[in-house]
């Protein structure tokens, strides 16, 4: 019997991963169709075809499930999407261009995630355990990014980090608004050329700030 225990453990692990995948898919489906208002343990269990007791057993409830879902690259842009290739970063000596390029990559990846944009918009109007879970994951991703950049020789710290945070907030807002409007302040939010122009403006902002701090 002892020989069968590892197989049983592996089987349970596989069943759990399968159940988690169904819950993540059900969660994304509910968010796409009805937004945050559609979320609920009962609705999620029905949509996923999973007993709701498993949501509590595996995640401790909807908050824990949202936290794990937010950690996935399908929700937040991955480090690979933001960083691009390390070779490109190392070949670019201009820190202003590096910082703006990273934010440009972030904007591009964010705009491809309608569910994420919906949740970011919801976060602006609501403060509860679910939004706290999303905030926690976002801050963890930011720390990972800054740590990785520091490790490869591009430490974005001090004023560069502060300006990056302000510009990232602006990107979040413009990306969210692009769901409902085409133009904001003369910028055509549905046009890739406008977002390229935003990246150029960010480069100039970083360059001016770096020059002023010397």
Tell which of 43, 71, 99 closes a domain: 71
Residues linked to residue 188 through DSSP beta bridges, in sequence order: 183
pLDDT of residue 3: 46
Domain co-membership, 146 together with 163: yes
pLDDT of residue 49: 94
Model pLDDT for residues 81-106, shown as the tens digit of each residue: 998 877 777 777 788 888 899 999 99
Domain co-membership, 101 together with 206: yes
Tell which of 17, 47, 71 closes a domain: 71
Domain co-membership, 164 together with 61: no
CATH number at residue 54: 1.10.10.60
Tell which of 71, 102, 117 closes a domain: 71
Domain co-membership, 97 together with 156: yes
Domain co-membership, 45 together with 108: no
Number of domains making up the chain = 2
Expressed as residue numbers, the domain containing 21 is: 4-71
pLDDT of residue 214: 64
Tokens encoding 44: 């999620």
Q: Residue 141, Cβ neighbours under 10 Å: how many?
A: 17
pLDDT of residue 5: 45
pLDDT of residue 163: 92
Domain co-membership, 56 together with 140: no
Model pLDDT for residues 43-68, shown as the tens digit of each residue: 999 999 999 999 999 999 988 888 88
Domain co-membership, 88 together with 115: yes
Q: Where are the beta strands (DSSP E) in the chain?
A: 183-184, 187-188
Domain co-membership, 83 together with 173: yes
Domain co-membership, 145 together with 181: yes
The helix/strand/coil state of 187 is strand
Q: Give me the phi and psi of 184, to 5 degrees please.
A: -135, 115
User: In which residue ranges of the chain is pLDDT below 50?
Assistant: 1-5, 7
């Amino acid at each position: 019997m002892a020989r069968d225990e590892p197989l049983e453990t592996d089987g349970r692990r596989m069943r759990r991963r399968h159940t988690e995948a169904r819950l993540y898919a059900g969660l994304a489906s509910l968010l796409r169709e009805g937004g945050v208002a559609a979320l609920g343990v009962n609705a999620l269990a029905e949509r996923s075809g999973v007993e709701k007791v498993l949501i509590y057993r595996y995640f401790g409830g909807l908050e824990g499930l949202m936290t794990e879902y937010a950690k996935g690259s399908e929700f937040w842009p991955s480090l690979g999407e933001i960083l691009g290739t390390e070779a490109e970063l190392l070949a670019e000596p201009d820190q202003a261009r590096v910082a703006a390029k990273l934010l440009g990559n972030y904007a591009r990846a964010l705009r491809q995630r309608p569910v994420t944009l919906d949740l970011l918009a919801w976060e602006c109007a609501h403060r509860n355990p679910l939004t706290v879970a999303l905030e926690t994951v976002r801050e963890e991703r930011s720390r990972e990014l800054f740590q990785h950049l520091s490790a490869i020789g591009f430490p974005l710290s001090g004023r560069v980090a502060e300006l990056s945070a302000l510009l990232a907030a602006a990107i979040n807002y413009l990306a969210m608004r692009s769901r409902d409007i085409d133009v904001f302040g003369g910028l055509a939010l549905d046009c890739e050329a406008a977002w390229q122009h935003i990246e150029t403006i960010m480069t100039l902002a970083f360059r001016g700030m770096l020059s002023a701090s010397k």
